[in-house]
Amino acid sequence: MKYLIVGLGNPGSEYEETRHNIGFKVVDTIAQTGEASFEVGRLGEVSTVRFKGRTLVLLKPSTFMNLSGKAVRYWMDAEKIPLERVMIVTDDLALPFGKIRIRAKGSGGGHNGLGNIETVLGTSKYPRLRFGIGDDFHRGQQIDYVLGKWSSEEVANIEERLTRCVEAIQSFASIGLERTMNHFNNT
């Protein structure tokens, strides 16, 4: 059984260690765990790992955050993966740093990547894992904060939170979305 795990982010070295690219960082961690590497494919970088008889197709769209839906749709079709076996991994300003929130559906909440995916897929009913990046910025500074680098305190704690995300995604692929939400939400 195949699953598509999409980490949202922006391509390019200038975005590599920014809060907005946590989705890329999560799928990079899954690939490292499975000793896999990414290859440039159509509309993104792709890797494949196996976990308990499941195949996880990992995608880092090259379309930039605001056009992520095009890459998601292409890889769903190319790999013949239904929507219920897709997990979108993204940053969330409304959650404290490192907090994970997994949902089966929901609005984009002002997140342009999620909004574009919803537009392209024609639905907001798709699994997503939101990684809290906090909201420690002054009014009018949201873009600088989201596209900013992690603080030294965040860097010191991010590996443990990335491991927790990998465990949640492996759980999604092995025991399903409902049980995964019950176990991992608010951790």
For Cα atoms 11, 15, 21, give the angle at the middle one, nearest 5 degrees.
Answer: 80
The structure tokens 């492996």 sit at: 170
Q: What token pair was written down for 168?
A: 């949640």
- Average pLDDT over the chain reads 93
Strand order in the sheet with 39-41: 39-41, 44-51, 54-61, 2-7, 86-92, 128-132, 100-103
- Whether 20 is a known active-site residue: answer yes
According to DSSP H, which parts of 1-111 are helical? 22-33, 68-79
pLDDT-derived band at 108 (thresholds 50, 70, 90) equals: confident
Whether the per-residue pLDDT at 29 is higher than 90: the answer is yes
Considering the candidates 20, 111, 138, 183, report the single residue annotated as catalytic. 20
pLDDT-derived band at 187 (thresholds 50, 70, 90) equals: low
pLDDT digits (tens, 9 = 90+) for 42-92: 999 999 999 999 999 999 999 988 899 999 999 999 999 999 999 999 999
Which pTM was predicted? Answer: 0.93
Give the separation between CA 33 and CA 24, rounded to whole angstroms.
14
pLDDT digits (tens, 9 = 90+) for 157-186: 999 999 999 999 999 999 999 999 999 996
Residues of the chain with pLDDT > 90, as a percent, come to 79
Whether the per-residue pLDDT at 20 is higher than 80: the answer is yes
Of 158, 99, 108, 147, the closest CA to residue 128 belongs to 108
Structural domains of the chain, ranges and CATH numbers in brackets: 2-184 (3.40.50.1470)
Q: Is the CB of residue 108 less than 8 Å from the CB of residue 114?
A: yes
